[in-house]
């Protein structure tokens, strides 16, 4: 079984879950003419100072359609989530200067789940549903929606678990 980041469901709004996630340690490769996926796959396969293999975890977190998990992506970088046993000071040190380690702070996300095939059109459709539900509930977002894909490419499309998520603004302190 593949590890998944633990989260707490705080609330449900129709098909949308409001989830609190812990901080996550990620390895990030910058898209600088090289394939960031290959750099990160090399890192978790033992191309690091400790020559340690790092287990892959799920989901893939991406703004683009990725090839496999676990990935966080924007237009210029790609990141793999490291297993929960790692902290910044205990994760294997990257050898390649294009791979860096960082920590995503704990945060609250609005998430909508769906199964089936993944496409850019489906991403836009589900992003619209998610943002509409959050706005209707009076919740404000931070940044843009992103995809969380839980299955490797060999899983049949009708069994795949997909999610679209967006970070939520923390409530005002009173």
Residue 50 pLDDT exceeds 80: yes
Token pair in block for residue 150:
């839980």
pLDDT in tens, 76-102: 567 788 999 999 999 999 999 999 999
Q: What percentage of the chain's residues is helix, strand, coil (to nearest 5)?
A: 15, 35, 45
Tally of CB atoms within 10 A around 129? 16
- Strand ranges of the sheet holding 60-62, from the earlier edge strand across to the other edge: 8-13, 16-21, 107-115, 161-168, 141-149, 60-62
What is the mean pLDDT of the segment spanning 33-48? 87
Q: Residue ranges of the domains in the chain?
A: 24-55+75-104
What is the mean pLDDT of the segment spanning 148-156? 84
- On average, the pLDDT of the chain sits at 86
**Distances, alpha carbon 16 to alpha carbons 9, 12, 27, 157, 165, in Å:** 10, 6, 29, 22, 9
* CB-based contacts of 10-15 (< 8 A; 24+ apart in sequence): 10/108, 13/133, 13/134, 13/136, 13/137, 14/133, 15/112, 15/113, 15/129, 15/133
Residue 53 pLDDT exceeds 90: yes
Q: Which helix (H) or strand (E) holds 127?
A: helix 120-136
**Distances, alpha carbon 30 to alpha carbons 74, 92, 142, in Å:** 10, 18, 23
* Predicted pLDDT at 173: 47
Contact, 81 vs 57, CB < 8 A?
yes
Q: With bands split at pLDDT 50, 70 and 90, how would you rate the model's confidence at 66?
A: very low
């Amino acid at each position: 079984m593949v590890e998944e980041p633990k989260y707490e469901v705080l609330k449900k709004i129709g098909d949308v879950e409001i989830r609190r996630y812990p901080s996550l340690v990620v390895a990030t490769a910058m898209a600088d003419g090289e394939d960031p996926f290959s750099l990160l796959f090399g890192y978790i396969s033992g191309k690091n100072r400790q020559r340690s293999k790092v287990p892959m975890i799920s989901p893939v977190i991406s703004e683009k359609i990725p090839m496999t998990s676990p990935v966080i992506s924007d237009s210029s970088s790609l990141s793999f989530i490291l297993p929960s046993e790692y902290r910044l000071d205990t994760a294997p040190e990257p050898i390649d200067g294009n791979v860096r380690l960082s920590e995503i702070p704990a945060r609250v996300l609005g998430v909508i789940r769906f199964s089936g095939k993944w496409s850019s059109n489906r991403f836009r459709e589900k992003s619209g549903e998610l943002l509409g539900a959050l706005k209707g509930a009076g919740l404000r977002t931070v940044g843009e929606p992103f995809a969380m894909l839980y299955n490797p490419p060999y899983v049949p499309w009708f069994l795949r678990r997909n999610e679209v998520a967006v970070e939520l603004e923390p409530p005002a302190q009173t």
